[in-house]
Amino acid sequence: MSFTTQKKIKNKLKRFVLLLIAFYLMIGTALYFLQEKFLFRPTVLNQNYVFKFSHNFEELFLKTDDNAVINALHFRVKEPKGVILYFHGNAGDLSRWGKLTEYFVDKNYDLLVMDYRTYGKSTGALSEHALYSDAQMCYDFLKELYPENDISVYGRSLGTGIATYIAAKNKPKQLILETPYYSILDVAKYRFPFFAVKQLIHYKIPTHDYIKDVTCDISMLHGIDDYVVPFKSGEKLFNVAPQNITSFTAIENGSHNDLIKFESYHSKIKEILP
């Protein structure tokens, strides 16, 4: 091989390596500065948007101490069996989640579901602290209307970490976690295995820390084929949870957004929300 040919190959390899480095830095920079877009994927509603659902509900605008406004829906039925405080997943807003949560209203439970800051009609700067404080505000709102032992806290996907925090800081009847994660960092490591996500991601949401302080019954449901929150992350969370009060339902063939299609999901929900 001639010297000229060797030099051309080296130059091509050098350019290829430089492109890889540039691509790595570009993705890492985007992950750092746009992490809220990656993690939360909020959709915004016009403040004049009119919600329409099958059940009676009240639209709430709860003002926080830092002058943010949290938009929430409070579904109410005659002679409810209890009330569910529901923390939704990372995509969509109350126009979507209100319809999904009517599944529980059909079971004759009152239900409160809020939109996180930057979602729907909710306003204010988003942060991990704000997620917790806004969630506690909603819990306190329900405590004014219901006995605390009638409150079931339900989290789905992103909302499971927030729900676990609330259950750890209060005394609800039970905690229900659909597709839970060990921590946001754990999920980020799965999605971005070649990046130092611990240094890049501001949001930690260490569900594994909070769950150790939960004293009510805990029910976890997770699809084995979940491609968004890995099944292993849910299993790892179960392994550090208080074993005497925690159950784990593994749903065969279930992925992330379709657990409601499976009889094993309905059976477990019927058991814990009779």
For residue 29, the model assigns a pLDDT of 52
Positions in the chain whose pLDDT score sits under 70: 1-39, 188-201
Look-up: residue for tokens 């704000």? Answer: 130
The reply to whether 26 and 55 lie within a common domain is: no
If we measure between CA atoms, which residue out of 170, 174, 168 comes closest to residue 221? 174
Q: Which residues on adjacent β-strands are paired with residue 222?
A: 250
| The total number of structural domains that make up the chain | 2
Alpha-carbon distance 25 to 201, whole Å? 15
If we measure between CA atoms, which residue out of 209, 186, 207 comes closest to residue 197? 186
Helix (H, G, I), strand (E, B) or coil at 175: strand
The reply to whether 16 and 140 lie within a common domain is: no
For residue 236, the model assigns a pLDDT of 97
Could you tell me the pTM of the whole model?
0.87
The reply to whether 161 and 228 lie within a common domain is: yes
The reply to whether 12 and 45 lie within a common domain is: no
Q: What residues make up the domain containing 3?
A: 1-33
The reply to whether 10 and 116 lie within a common domain is: no
The reply to whether 12 and 51 lie within a common domain is: no
The reply to whether 51 and 165 lie within a common domain is: yes
For residue 33, the model assigns a pLDDT of 42
For residue 187, the model assigns a pLDDT of 75
Q: What is the CATH number of the domain that holds 184?
A: 3.40.50.1820
The reply to whether 52 and 28 lie within a common domain is: no
The reply to whether 89 and 207 lie within a common domain is: yes
The reply to whether 131 and 9 lie within a common domain is: no
For residue 128, the model assigns a pLDDT of 95
The reply to whether 64 and 4 lie within a common domain is: no
Rounded alpha-carbon distances, angstroms, from residue 61 to 69, 73, 86, 113, 122: 6, 9, 16, 12, 8
The reply to whether 146 and 79 lie within a common domain is: yes
